[in-house]
Structure 1
């Protein structure tokens, strides 16, 4: 799948009159911008077929997608948060299915949000940093009270997810793109990360529904303010995971401002910095782990992981300056 003619066929189940198709990218999903030339409205089409098998998960199942899209509909109805809402098919479904050669591939359509992707320059001033912290806190406040009945079919981001990331990174060592010295550093870093984060497992108030993929590409700037997009990986995890992911996009000298703005609306645990450093490093590793089986990314991994080990892992292991 991937040709424009195929995509045009998929769109016939939606209330679109004259759709124009523009390919965006293929990562955890195949994504397209769809513009209905009849009225100028734009949409995001997601075909839920990952580029590599290690990106496949419960979030790509029919029930997983229904849970995600119900969450988006409820968030739009119950909050002022900027959110992409699903477009239902002509028969009223949020998830459609493409069947070919015995394979059933789900796909979904979301309303497009006009705006631009957040850039680090947007966070040069404390005003923008505070706005980001407040928006994340408002998101978490909604997610904390969101009912899990019937149970949501979504991923879980406990310590097992770190173990999975480490296994995927070990594959990089097996095929020769990660040196033995760096792999040893990564192993030790994961051991410390899991030891420190294991301390949080007895704190249920720190755990709940989260976005789980708040890299800077999933944050946008609109006329109404900042918004978060792409809830594809949303699931159950520690709220501080989202905080750490967002903090990676904020200049180090402004991260205290970000935390203060967040804490004014949603509680942080006492002395969170060391745990946030663990989540930040786990997020960096997780990004490489997800791309490890993608041949197009291997040269970048080969170049960047030694820098990560030297810049972040060694100070982290030596108990020196906090990553946060």
Structure 2
């Protein structure tokens, strides 16, 4: 597949290095002194992203992601990757298998997975997110995922399937359902505040280079509230004590007032999203079983208590 994909672009002597395979198969393409990111839009076996995409064909979201990245590049207030056309002058390439391919510019730097985290860096992350949201708020009418009450219903249905298949225990299912019901009410109340968010922001999807931060991988981006984004990154940082610095950074770049009480709830939603997508693949993994117990104790139960007060 990678050889066929490379032939569709105007590369001269491309060399492909595999990066990872989640919702896409991603490769770093080196061609002379230039680098690119090539994505074959084929999800890894056992991963289910239908809760995000709903009934809309994946191609619609691939094409709209390209449009989103083009508009962000044109706005220019935040550094992101931008799409590269193929030899036929198109942004999306279809392989003989029917799988779709896109190529993006390459961003130099390293992700934050192995970086030391400080209050200063967390504040900078908040500033980056605030700048991103200020830019996406200027972009109307892009067909993206919608993280609303219907999305929560789809998550609830999948969590029920996970319980029925004995991938998670009944106790965990009951707690998750309570969290989802609270979040559904929050999203219904906050519908007027929806903007385009990254929706998959973690340490692995932020690139640090020469003192600046850039978000990558907008595959799951869509409409939601800012607290959902902030909850995602706090979940990735795994330290609630960073919330004040994150929010301070955000509000220094964006005039939206953040409801701190929602952030822990959306950190829990980030974990539930992981369970929804991965449970068919990881339910036998002892690490996952232990994590479920920890998530119930440190995320789901405290969030339920907080939201019911």
TM-score (normalised: structure 1): 0.86
Q: Is the 8 A contact 2:27 2:38 kept in 1?
A: yes
* Range 50-59 or range 11-20, more displaced: 50-59
Q: Does the 8 Å CA contact 1:32/1:45 hold for their aligned counterparts? A: yes
- Secondary structure (helix, strand or coil) at the match of 1:114 reads coil
**Residue 63, structure 1, aligned to residue 56, structure 2:** no
**1:296, CA displacement in angstroms?**
7.7
- 1:32 aligns with one of 27, 31, 37: 27
Could you tell me how far apart the structure 2 residues matched to 1:282 and 1:53 are? 17
Q: What RMSD in Å do the two structures reach over aligned CA positions? A: 2.4
Once the two structures are superposed, what CA deviation does each residue of 1:228-281 show, in whole Å capped at 9, x if it has no partner? 0000111111122112212334432232121012112213346x1222222121
**2:124 aligns to what?**
131
Kept in 2: contact 1:220–1:226 (CA 8 A): yes
Mapped pair 1:50 → 2:43: yes
Unmatched runs of 5 consecutive residues or more in structure 1: 1-5
Q: Are 2:39 and 2:103, in contact at CA under 8 Å, matched by a contact in 1?
A: yes
1:317 aligns with: 304
Which of residues 83, 87, 106 is equivalent to 1:90? Answer: 87
Distance 2:264 2:243 in 1: 12
Secondary structure (helix, strand or coil) at the match of 1:236 reads: strand
Query: CA separation of 1:320/1:167 partners in 2, compared to 1, >3 Å: closer, same or farther?
Result: closer
Task: Point out where structure 2 has 5 or more consecutive residues left out of the alignment.
Answer: none
Q: Which residue number corresponds to residue 219 of structure 1?
A: 206
User: How far apart, in 1, do the equivalents of 2:299 and 2:62 lie?
Assistant: 35
Deviations 1:55-78 (A, max 9, x none): 253786333222211221221232
Corresponding residue for residue 259 of structure 1:
247
Q: Quick one: which of 281, 293, 301 aligns to 2:288?
A: 301
Q: Distance in 1 between matches of 2:105 and 2:256?
A: 33
Out of 158, 179, 186, the residue aligned to residue 168 of structure 1 is: 158
Partner of 2:10: 15
After superposition, where does 1:107-256 map in structure 2 within 5 Å? 107-119=101-113, 121-124=115-118, 126-148=119-141, 152-201=142-191, 204=192, 206-223=193-210, 225-250=212-237, 251-256=239-244
Contact 1:118-1:219 at 8 Å conserved across structures: yes
CA distance 1:180–1:248, shift in 2 (3 Å): closer
Native 8 Å contact 1:189 1:313 kept in 2: yes
Secondary structure of 1:176's counterpart equals: coil
1:197–1:278 Cα contact (<8 Å) kept:
no
User: 2:70 touches 2:83 (CA, 8 Å); kept in 1?
Assistant: yes
Q: State how 1:273-288 maps to structure 2 within 5 Å.
A: 273-288=260-275
Deviations 1:115-155 (A, max 9, x none): 1011474431x32122111111111001001132xxx2211
Contact persistence 2:77–2:135 (CA under 8 A): no
Q: Is the 8 A contact 1:168 1:292 kept in 2?
A: no
SS at match of 1:267: coil
**Which 4+ residue blocks in structure 1 deviate beyond 6 angstroms?**
none
Please give the secondary structure, in 2, of the residue aligned with 1:15: coil
Q: Which residue of 2 aligns with 1:3?
A: none
Whether the aligned pair in 2 keeps the contact of 1:88 and 1:94 (CA below 8 Å) is: yes
TM-score, length basis structure 2? 0.89
Provide the rounded CA distance (Å) in 2 between the counterparts of 1:117 and 1:15: 28
Question: In structure 2, do the counterparts of structure 1 residues 112 and 146 end up closer, same or farther at CA, with 3 Å as the change threshold?
Answer: same
